[in-house]
Amino acid sequence: MPVVLHALGDPVRLELVRRMAADGECACSPEGLDVPRSTLSNHWRILREAGLTDTRADGKARIMSLRRGPVEAEFPGLLAAVLGDGEGRAGA
């Protein structure tokens, strides 16, 4: 639990999670985030190591998605509360 909360406890990482939740997936360097690529890579690493993301390759690019199902199973209601959408279970 603290590992996941720490992973979510950063404004950039929270935004990445919100984008994955809203769009289904998120590219490594999404539009509109004024953050250096190396810093973004570090954020993605923290999310990945906390078990929050899956990664697929699209050519040279990496596309991340939120592991809603496993996270919801392990921490019921957490994503819904964090995303503030009351629909944390959608697509789980």
13 is an interface residue for its own copies by CB under 8 A: yes
DSSP structure string for 57-80: EETTEEEEEE-HHHHHHHSTTHHH
33 near its own copies, rule: CB under 8 A:
no
3-class secondary structure, 83: helix
Give the 3-state secondary structure of residue 26.
strand
Instruction: State which of positions 44-83 bind its own copies (CB under 8 A).
Output: 75-78, 80-82
Question: Could you give the dihedral angle defined by the CA atoms of residues 47, 50, 56 and 22, in that order, rounded to the nearest 10 degrees?
Answer: -60
Q: How far is the CB of 58 from its own copies (least distance, A)?
A: 28
In the complex, least distance from residue 36 CB atom to its own copies, rounded to whole angstroms: 19
Q: Which is nearer to its own copies, 13 or 19 (CB)?
A: 13
Q: Kindly list the residues in this chain that would bind its own copies in the complex (CB under 8 A).
A: 1-11, 13-14, 75-78, 80-82, 84
